[in-house]
Amino acid sequence: MPFNTQLQSRLPQVGTTIFTVMSGLAQRHGAVNLGQGFPDFDCDPRLVNAVEAAMRAGLNQYPPMAGVPELRDAVAKKLLTLYGRSYDAGNEITITAGATQAIFTALLAIVHPGDEVIVLEPCYDSYAPNIVMAGGTVVRVPLVPGSFKPDFEALAAALTPRTRALIINSPHNPSGTVWSAQDMQRLADLLRPTDVMLISDEVYEHMVFDGHTHLSAAQWPDLAERSFVVSSFGKTYHVTGWKVGFVAAPAPLTHEFRKQHQFNVFTVNTPVQHGLAAHMADAESYLTLSDFYQQKRDQFRAGLAHTPFKLLPCEGSFFQCVDYSALSDQTDQTYCEWLTTQMGVAAIPLSAFYAGGTDQRVIRFCFAKKASTLEHALDRLTKL
């Protein structure tokens, strides 16, 4: 009898992600790729030097399971300085293989079969499959269409005795909205009487515009005590391919998190951790990141101002959403394919961030690109 290769899928609904599809299409058609969210410019050469120095110094073997102490110390110092919460680097901070692994491992640590986990749609594409892989049930609550602000009435209505956790993301991918102090306070008030845990995805924490500041769950004691605060060095230092992030959480949460982490990735690569730790000594690079990206946002928005696209607000992250309904009544997916193949600029349809494919005639561009790449894309888009 031949071996039966028909596997029963844990994720039967999952196919190739839209990011891979659109990047492939962009490549085949020579389109400027403003779809997938990664910079097309290099990181600070001093960071590469610091990693190289660590490799040459022989720091190439397994690090401590939770991450090298120097990097955990640097993260704790940053969280204290920026958000005023003291995390113990020994017991409350763990270095992960990117924010994605941090979120998945947090879910593995807290979710049991029958537990519900709330996500606010549109949302980053790994959340829902990770909840399912952890044995949980995904409960989707839409952000307010148009503004993409949290809808606290809908959120309150979605809470049940089975709700184990909620995942939030500010600054937000894909919409670029940023939670206000009032939003954070309302969330704290809503969760206070419950045992619901919070996974706060803050990977764009250093990209907030127009003088606003990022507000972390770490700043609200009622939230911090139940939160896994997650961030990504990949986003902050223009090294998305290095896949290194961190999670900060109170000791009992971290204790359970590390049990899963230990037998999952175990450790994250050593020289990169040392390089990041050395580089973090200079806070300048992340403290100036908002200005750096605001210039790019402004260049891109100024260029698009002369097109029939309606620009949605962009308060943070490196994404600009536009409403194209004045140009076409095609679905957002078809419109993105047309834009890529006929106009030579790739974008991502917002419906890809909704399980039900909600189509608002809105698409997302990534402006984490060289000024020349943005100019090139704008040359093409201004012909619309």
Ligand X SMILES: Cc1ncc(COP(=O)(O)O)c(C=O)c1O
Tell me the closest approach of the beta carbon of residue 71 to ligand X, in angstroms. Answer: 15
Nearer to ligand X, 243 or 361 (CB): 243
**Residue closest to ligand X, measured at CB:** 98
Q: Quick check: 116 and 163 in contact, CB under 8 A?
A: yes
Nearer to ligand X, 233 or 335 (CB): 233
Nearer to ligand X, 247 or 339 (CB): 247
Nearer to ligand X, 176 or 234 (CB): 234
CA angle 177, 288, 202 (to 5 degrees): 40
Nearer to ligand X, 201 or 323 (CB): 201
CB atoms within 10 A of CB 161: 7
Nearer to ligand X, 240 or 378 (CB): 240
Tell me the closest approach of the beta carbon of residue 351 to ligand X, in angstroms. Answer: 17
Q: Which two tokens stand for residue 186?
A: 């309302």
Applying CB under 6 A, which residues contact ligand X?
A: 37, 98-100, 124, 169, 173, 201, 203, 232, 234, 240, 243, 245
Give the burial class of 372: count Cβ atoms within 10 A of its Cβ; 0-12 exposed, 13-18 middle, 19 or more buried: exposed
Q: Quick check: 247 and 167 in contact, CB under 8 A?
A: no
CA 237 to CA 44: how far, in whole Å?
Answer: 8
Tell me the closest approach of the beta carbon of residue 232 to ligand X, in angstroms. Answer: 3
Tell me the closest approach of the beta carbon of residue 244 to ligand X, in angstroms. Answer: 7
Tell me the closest approach of the beta carbon of residue 250 to ligand X, in angstroms. Answer: 21
What DSSP string runs through 283-343? THHHHTHHHHHHHHHHHHHHHHTTSSPEEPP--BSSEEEEE-TTT--S-HHHHHHHIIIII
Tell me the closest approach of the beta carbon of residue 98 to ligand X, in angstroms. Answer: 3
